Chain A
């Protein structure tokens, strides 16, 4: 009896380098390394010419200028062909007037989907679920979001995460719940008893030594 072997692929994790790939896209053959120096959002959708995905693509196109201001590029992905992607993008433009300015990977052989863990058989064995991978300018994975097939993504939250991560990198701080640019940020808590004693005397707004905030 032939033994069935299942290939185990390690899924990408936060803080690790994004898996390298080379893929056919609507903007030609692109490699992950082509995006080095920019932040990158790779996002997957279940299929072209489907309603929720169409609303998402229009929403991603709407925030694209804001993402560019933050040095961030977008790269879509589904297991459809490049011809299907082109036809869909043209149809969206024709029917809604919205231009989709970013490339979309045609992952027919599911190579990139498997690398990034975008297929969840419990949801669909043939389609990618709605994933969002935020990759920084050094090509390290900084955020992973998974959405079910039936729930469209929230663009405000994606922009907010980019703002939060870039604020953290620039200022060495953390951001509290529901943080928005301009709000107070969290000062990293001290990790010694001496530091804890001093923290509340350092001019920050503190609930206690472990929760202090400041304006940037």
Chain B
């Protein structure tokens, strides 16, 4: 996993995406710009974050979950 470590914690790039989500950004395009990551990495990364329960996807918009929120400052 590129965004979530085997121990369930976000990697550096995963944490960047979570922080962007926590700030209210909701689309991969917005997150990529904010986190300074390539768009393809963010599309793949948010998918991982959702699978790990750290982010949620609803109606095409991403948001951070309570679990995800606890893992980033």
| Chain A residues engaging chain B, CB cutoff 8 angstroms | 27-31, 33-35, 37-38, 73
Give the secondary structure class of B's interface: helix
Task: Give the complex CA separation of A24 and B48 in angstroms.
Answer: 13
5 pairs of A and B residues whose beta carbons are closest in the complex: A28-B2, A34-B40, A34-B43, A35-B40, A34-B44
- How near does chain B come to A133, taking the closest CB pair, in angstroms? 16
> A31, A33, A34, A35: which has the most chain B beta carbons within 10 Å?
A34
Task: Give the complex CA separation of A34 and B47 in angstroms.
Answer: 10
Which residue of chain A is the closest to B48 with respect to CB atoms? Answer: A28
Q: In the complex, which residues 20-72 of chain B have their Cβ closer than 8 Å to any Cβ of chain A?
A: 38-41, 43-45, 47-48
Q: A28-B3, A29-B1 are in contact. List 14 more A-B contacts (CB 8 A).
A: A27-B2, A28-B1, A28-B41, A28-B48, A29-B48, A30-B40, A30-B44, A31-B44, A33-B43, A34-B43, A34-B44, A38-B40, A73-B38, A73-B40
Cross-chain contact of A29 among B38, B39, B44 (Cβ < 8 A):
B44
Contacts of A35 in B (CB 8 A): 40
Task: Give the complex CA separation of A34 and B39 in angstroms.
Answer: 8
- How near does chain B come to A117, taking the closest CB pair, in angstroms? 23
Contacts of B38 in A (CB 8 A): 73
B48 pairs with A37, CB closer than 8 A? no
| Chain B residues engaging chain A, CB cutoff 8 angstroms | 1-3, 38-41, 43-45, 47-48
- How near does chain A come to B65, taking the closest CB pair, in angstroms? 20
Task: Give the complex CA separation of A31 and B47 in angstroms.
Answer: 11
B48 pairs with A27, CB closer than 8 A? no
> A28, A35, A38: which has the most chain B beta carbons within 10 Å?
A28
Which residue of chain B is the closest to A102 with respect to CB atoms? Answer: B38
A–B complex contacts, Cβ < 8 Å, 19 sampled? A27-B41, A28-B3, A28-B41, A28-B44, A28-B45, A29-B1, A29-B44, A29-B47, A29-B48, A30-B40, A31-B43, A31-B44, A33-B43, A34-B39, A35-B40, A37-B39, A38-B39, A38-B40, A73-B40
Contacts of A28 in B (CB 8 A): 1-3, 41, 44-45, 48
Task: Give the complex CA separation of A28 and B1 in angstroms.
Answer: 5
- How near does chain B come to A28, taking the closest CB pair, in angstroms? 3
Which residue of chain B is the closest to A27 with respect to CB atoms? Answer: B2
Contacts of A29 in B (CB 8 A): 1-2, 44, 47-48
Task: Give the complex CA separation of A27 and B48 in angstroms.
Answer: 12
Contacts of B48 in A (CB 8 A): 28-29
Which residue of chain B is the closest to A26 with respect to CB atoms? Answer: B2
